[in-house]
Chains A and B, each alone.
Chain A
C-alpha cells in the first residue's frame, strides 16, 4: 500500500501502519497534501500543524520500528474544531476577538487521549463564531463549504469538522455539540457523528459555549471509526467538573452485535412536524431497514427545545458578558444580537428552564424503560445554500437559522447519546441525517444500530466529487 491509495477509514490506516504496510509519515503526508489541495475550496482548516504532525509521525514510525505497540489509532490523522486547545495555537472558537489571545499552554484532554492511542493531530478547523451557529458560516474566517456541493452550507457549528471528514482530508475530526453542532454538520455533509451522553467525555481544554449543555464528540466516515475515536477519548479527568465518574465503557468490541433484540421506536408527534418530505423519508427508510414499526411520542419535545433555546441565550450571554461590554462590534452580528438579547432575559425564565430540564430527563428515562432506541430526523431539510435565509416547508417560508436545530435540541437537552447516520433518499441529491437516540450511557446501543445500518447499506457516508483533489476518496 502506498499513500496514493491511502484508505479513507481510520481503522484501515491504523491497521496498515501497525503492520508496516504504510508508514505514519506517508499517511500524514497524504493528509497534508489533501488538505493543501482541498482547503482553498472547502475552507475547513484554519490552522495546519505540518511540522508538529510530521515530527509525531516520524516518532511513531520509530516506535513501531523498535517493536513498541503504537496504539489502536496508529498514524491516523485527525483534526479538531478550533475551540479545542492546541499547545502553542490560539484557541479562536471561531471568533476575531480570541485571535489576540496567547496560544494555549497544552492540548485539550481528548486530544491527548487520541494521541496516546497513536492518532496524530493535523490541525484546527473552522467553526461558527463561539459555537452559536447551525450553518457553518463565519463572518470572520469565511464559511466552511459542503464538499458534496460547495454552494451549500456545511452545517454548524462544527462546520469545518464535517467538511474536513466529508472531503477526505482526515478520516476523523472532533466537534462540539450544545444543541446539535455535531449532528447537523454530520447530516449535511453525509457522514457519521456521535454526540455522547452529557458528562461522558471530558471537555477540559475546550472553549465553552453553554457549559450545562456542551458535549464533545467525533465525526467520521464510518461507525467503526466513531467507536475507535470514542473509546480512545474515554477517561477520567478531574478538570471537567461534570465528567461522569463511571469507568470507561469501550464500545468498539460490541459493534458487531448489531440491532438484534433491541426495541426500536420511531419518534412521532413533534418529530413528524416541521420537516420536509425528504427528511421524513430518510427516517422511514431507516425504520424499514430496522423493521421498526412502532412509534413513540416524546410529549414535551417542543417545550424542551424552547427551554434549551432560553438556556443557550442566557448562559451564552453570561459567558460573554465582559466581551459584550468591551468588544460588542468585534462579534459577528448574527452572534452578538442573540447574545445581547440573552443578556436581558429574566433569571426566573432560566431557572424554570432548568427545572423543566430535570422534569424532562425523568420523562426520557421513563420512555427508555419501554424501548432501547428512538429514531428521529437530524434536520428538517437537507443542506441549504450558503447565505440562504429561508427554506420552504409545506408552501411556507421558514427561517433557516432558527429551525435547523429543531430536532436536535430536544435530544441534547436531555443529555442523551446520539449517533447521526447519513441517508440517501431517492431523488434527493444531498444527504439527510437520522438520529439514532439511546438511553443515557448507552452509546454502545446507538453505535451497534448505526453499524448494522451501515453493514446493510441503509446508511453510508457520501463520497465528495472528484473536483477537490483529482480523485474521490476510497470507500463508499
Chain B
C-alpha cells in the first residue's frame, strides 16, 4: 500500500519551493518535511471547528 502522506509531502517539497523561488537541499529536506507534518496536524485540528462562510478574518480587537 502506498504511503500517501509521504508521497504528498515529497511532492509538496519538490514543487512548492520552485514556486516560492528557493530550493530545499537534501540535507534540509527531512527537517522541512517534519515541519510540514506538524503543520498538517495543526490544520487538522483547526478543521475540527466549522466557521460560517460569512465570518471575517480578524487581527485586532479594536478594528
Contacts and interface: CB of A to CB of B under 8 A. Distances in A.
Nearest to B47: A352
Nearest to B15: A344
A345 interface: yes
A212 B58 CA distance: 9
A333 B60 contact: no
Nearest to B31: A337
Contact of B61 (A198, A342, A355): A198
Contacts of A355: 51, 55-58
Contacts of A440: 61
Size range of the chain B interface in the assembly: 20 to 34
What secondary structure prevails in chain A residues at the interface with B?
A: helix
A321 B20 contact: yes
Given A358-B58, A415-B61, A303 B46 contact: yes
A126 to B, nearest CB: 24
Contacts of B62: 199, 244-246
A246 B17 CA distance: 43
B43 interface: yes
B32 to A, nearest CB: 5
B16 A352 contact: no
A402 interface: yes
A357 B17 contact: no
Interface string A428-443: 0000000000001100
Nearest to B30: A337
B48 interface: yes
Contact of A328 (B22, B34, B35, B61): B22
A340 interface: yes
Of B20, B36, B58, chain A has the most CB atoms within 10 Å of the CB of B58
Contacts of A358: 55-58
Given A325-B21, A344-B17, A199 B60 contact: yes
Of B28, B35, B49, B61, chain A has the most CB atoms within 10 Å of the CB of B61
Interface in A315-351: 321, 324-325, 328, 333, 336-338, 340-345, 349, 351
Nearest to A349: B43
A313 B22 contact: no
Contact of A321 (B16, B21, B31, B56): B21
A307 B28 CA distance: 25
Contacts of B21: 321, 324-325
A337 B22 contact: no
B36 to A, nearest CB: 5
A303 B43 CA distance: 9
B59 A337 contact: no
B2 interface: no
Contact of A344 (B36, B43, B45, B58): B36
Contact of B39 (A302, A310, A415): A310
A232 B51 CA distance: 41
Contacts of B60: 198-199, 242, 415
Size range of the chain A interface in the assembly: 35 or more
A356 B55 CA distance: 8
Contact of A357 (B12, B42, B59): B59
A84 interface: no
Contacts of A325: 20-22
Interface in B8-27: 12-13, 16-17, 20-24
A415 B12 CA distance: 33
B40 to A, nearest CB: 9
B38 interface: yes
B48 to A, nearest CB: 7
B16 A344 contact: yes
A343 B55 contact: no
A309 to B, nearest CB: 5
A356 B51 contact: yes
Interface of B: 12-13, 16-17, 20-24, 28, 31-32, 34-36, 38-39, 41-43, 45-49, 51, 55-62
Interface of A: 197-199, 212, 242, 244-246, 300, 302-303, 306-307, 309-310, 313, 321, 324-325, 328, 333, 336-338, 340-345, 349, 351-359, 361, 402, 415, 440-441
Q: Which 7 A-B pairs have the closest CB atoms?
A: A358-B58, A354-B57, A341-B35, A344-B16, A306-B42, A337-B31, A306-B45
18 contacts: A197-B61, A244-B62, A306-B43, A307-B42, A310-B39, A313-B35, A321-B21, A324-B21, A337-B31, A337-B34, A341-B32, A344-B20, A355-B58, A356-B46, A357-B58, A358-B57, A415-B60, A441-B61
